[in-house]
Structure 1
């Protein structure tokens, strides 16, 4: 079974992982995050440097999600909101807790150690740039330290004018009082920008240690792996074996906006241009594909009814889209039919599988297409009824005012 795990607490980093019937949070998911045995040495997993490297809890998203035009499920942007999360049992098999394709959301704890270390470094940096007029140790800023290193170099290269200029600049109160305060305010602003980038995860390095970053090259170096296989480097981890043991697939689930853009371009290309798509009446659906599901649908379907419920019956009798084993079998059959059309072309088949994992199916068979059509009709009926009620309320208020 394939599931998705949200890394970096980022909606654009929902990665697919393969889990077996016996896999649990403890023996599978938690192994993804350690440095030596997991993926932490290969990619950034935590939201920012201010968080611990490993999650403290794991939740599943029970937001119903979106039903795509191909009958697949996409994650809603509110999928990781607190009200849409349900904690997972660490020792219970994942197959008994999750639907195929469901989203797992790790909970990250702030690292007090990292926060304190960062704060001390930034305060020390700010202290060195205090205006000379108020600093207990004037002239110790980093630029002055660099100038002091360059002075003997300039003298050695027989550049007396440059050396003399640098000697003047390192003297305390060389700059005017206004300039000193202006530079200090700019330094505070610079520290604020750096902090903002780090807090938001815009800058989120694997490590600040240059030696560690250099040593990580061995993990992805083909020559290192080859040396290991030949017995030349016993300390080198076999990358492929590690990824395989973690269930790593390497595919990311698209956000709704990415899906909308990709599906729109697909429809336009298929129709032979925007004009042809407009004449065929396909523009509206392509511009706003999919249907937002409501409570009790999608990933809120009762998991205990997985093997007894019928998705295609419930859409007609209960007027809602629920998940079932029948539905996932139909998805699998659809994908197989699509792959058969490529006549064994491995490249095209792999590309189709990658698209399926990211965007779902674009060309469903009649059974899936009918399912989507029925759910869209239900959504349209509800919208029409809601608009009718709103119009009735306005007319009722107008009548009261006239009386």
Structure 2
């Protein structure tokens, strides 16, 4: 199987960013749908996609897609797919599922039928009635949407937001993939100052530093497909070596991150150390109103707190008003603020130049973008 289709799943609102990343990696024949980006590749491209995609949730190997209106149809069409060419004889595989607006609405039944069908196909391929399932792990997903069944194998394992550097986090942290997207949606480049005055466990600053230094986000973790026989020997090692060589170790960055919670700063420093970017981020425990900003044409990207309880809500409302007063003086800076507060612009005192709806997990949030002037070219 030389030519394959891969699916980079995406959080709602980030499909265009994931597509841009897929294009930058040199992949072709790209299609964008709600929650996913589909592209042509080869088996040896699986390591590259997993190591380098910053904003995708997972990389799935598309095995087949067909209409299924009955369990018999689901069984037979699943069995017709080349499972034996993908899963090793000793492979351990599980089946997950979901069904939306489909006649086959019972997910457990669909999972059981797909599992049975794959086993039957594997029996034909390997000419055996028993499988030990002691080898590499494979997670098959059957997804039914409006009676169309899409069958995939997850190449990533745990989600791609699990970079490996964040062992600890504060309450309701940003997913690493979303933090990377916030940076890529801004006008920040490695030549400009970046400030996060509400850094929490440091995710935005760390993701920016990894982008600035060109550090592949998957370098410090493992992937399910690393154990697969179908990926040519040595490909994973080569891709990791190439990724290490691509790091811009000598690139100087000016990234500042602060939070009034000293424990958050201690966690952020530890996370930055594990990510290998602690030398380019200046962490400080302080209130945002005490920050002395001397640079021009900088970029603020931040996820300020928001209150759910009545007492907290009043405090947060006042904080947003204070942010508007403080940030208004930074006329040459661009400001990017993410929050679930629907009245943010009114509290902040200024309408955003652009607002983008996103999701952090299942929480709906808005990304308010206030563009400053472009810095003059030196």
Compare CA radii of gyration and give the structure with the larger one.
1
Q: TM-score range by the shorter chain?
A: under 0.3
Instruction: Report which of the two has the higher share of helix.
Output: 1
Instruction: Report which of the two has the higher share of strand.
Output: 2
The normalised TM-score by structure 2 is 0.22
